[in-house]
C-alpha cells in the first residue's frame, strides 16, 4: 500500500490535476490548502456559465452538500450530467443526509440519476442513503455496523464505492473491503476534516482510474497524516495547521 501511495503522490505532484469543488460549505480554505499541499490544484465555482469550461479542465469533481438550496441542487444535477458525459470521476459528500428529508432526497437523487464514483460520508449519512430514513444526529457509533451493511448494498445497487468515516474508516466496493483506524477527540473538534478527505480522494482518483484503489490509498495516506498531526497537536487549532504540514511533508 505504501508503495502505491507514493506512486500516486508522485503522479499528483507531476500532473498537478485540477480538482473542481462544488460546495457552499465553510472550510474552503482547509480544502484548498490541503489539495495544494499534496500538489493538486483546487478550484471552486457555483457559476453555471463557467461550469462547462472548468469541467473540461478538471480531472475530478467533488460535490459537497454542506449548504443546500434549490438553485444549488439544480447546479449539481447539471454538473453531474456534464461530468458523466466527459467521463470525469465524481466524489459525493452527502453532508447531513438523514438529518432532513430535503438533504436525504437530494443525495439519493444524485446517486440514482448520475454515475457517482465514490460517496464519502459518516455512518448516519450512509445509513440514510439506502432507505431514505432519517437518523438522529450523534448516533455514529450505533449506526456504524448498519452503515457497513447499507454501504455494501448501495455499492452493489448503484455500482459505486463507499467510504464510511468514523473511528474506523471503511472503504467498500461490492465485495472489496478495507479498514483504516484513525480518530481522536481532537479530530472531532475540527470542522471540515471529512470534507478535506473527500477532496483528497478526488485528487487520488484524478490520477488513479480504479475507484477502490483511489479511495483506499487516499484514506490510508490521510490516516497517516492525521495520526502524526494528532500526536503533535496541543489542541484543535494546532492539529488543523499540523495536518496541512503533514500533507505537505509527506509528498
Q: 230-247 pLDDT, tens per residue?
A: 999 999 999 999 999 999
The domain of 59 spans 2-249
Please say whether the dihedral angle defined by the alpha carbons of residues 139, 61, 161 and 215, taken in this order, is positive or negative. negative
Q: Identify the weakest region by mean pLDDT among 87-91, 107-111, 138-142, 207-211.
A: 138-142
Q: For 179-189, how does the pLDDT look when each residue is reduced to its tens digit (9 = 90+)?
A: 998 777 888 89
CATH of the domain at 11: 3.40.1190.20
pLDDT at 144 over 50: yes
Q: List, for residues 20-52, the tens digit of each pLDDT value.
A: 999 877 688 999 999 999 999 999 998 999 999
pLDDT at position 227 is: 92
Domains identified in the chain, total number: 1
| Res. 132 pLDDT band, cuts 50 70 90 | confident
Residue 71 CB neighbour total at 10 angstroms: 10
**Mean pLDDT score of the chain, rounded to an integer?**
92
Amino acid at each position: 500500500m505504501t508503495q502505491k501511495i507514493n506512486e500516486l503522490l508522485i503522479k499528483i505532484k507531476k500532473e498537478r490535476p485540477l480538482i473542481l469543488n462544488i460546495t457552499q460549505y465553510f472550510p474552503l480554505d482547509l480544502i484548498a490548502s490541503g489539495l495544494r499541499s499534496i500538489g493538486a490544484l483546487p478550484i471552486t465555482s457555483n457559476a453555471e456559465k463557467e461550469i462547462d469550461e472548468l469541467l473540461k479542465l478538471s480531472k475530478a469533481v467533488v460535490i459537497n452538500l454542506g449548504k443546500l438550496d434549490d438553485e444549488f441542487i439544480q447546479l449539481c444535477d447539471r454538473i453531474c450530467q456534464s461530468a458523466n458525459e466527459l467521463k470525469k470521476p465524481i466524489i459525493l459528500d452527502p453532508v447531513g443526509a438523514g438529518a432532513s428529508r430535503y438533504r436525504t432526497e437530494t443525495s439519493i437523487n444524485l446517486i440514482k440519476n448520475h454515475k457517482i464514483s465514490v460517496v464519502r460520508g459518516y455512518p448516519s449519512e450512509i445509513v440514510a442513503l439506502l432507505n431514505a430514513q432519517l437518523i438522529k444526529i450523534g448516533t455514529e457509533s450505533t449506526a456504524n455496523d448498519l452503515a457497513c451493511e447499507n454501504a455494501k448494498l448501495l455499492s452493489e445497487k448503484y455500482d459505486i464505492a463507499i467510504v464510511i468515516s468514523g473511528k474506523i474508516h471503511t472503504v467498500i466496493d461490492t465485495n472489496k473491503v478495507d479498514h483504516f483506524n484513525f480518530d481522536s477527540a481532537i479530530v472531532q473538534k475540527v470542522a471540515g476534516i471529512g470534507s478535506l478527505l473527500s477532496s483528497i480522494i478526488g485528487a487520488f482518483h484524478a490520477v488513479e482510474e480504479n475507484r477502490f484503489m483511489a479511495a483506499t490509498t487516499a484514506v490510508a495516506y490521510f490516516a497517516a497524516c492525521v495520526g502524526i498531526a494528532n500526536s503533535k497537536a496541543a489542541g484543535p487549532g494546532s492539529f488543523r495547521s499540523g495536518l496541512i504540514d503533514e500533507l505537505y511533508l509527506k509528498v
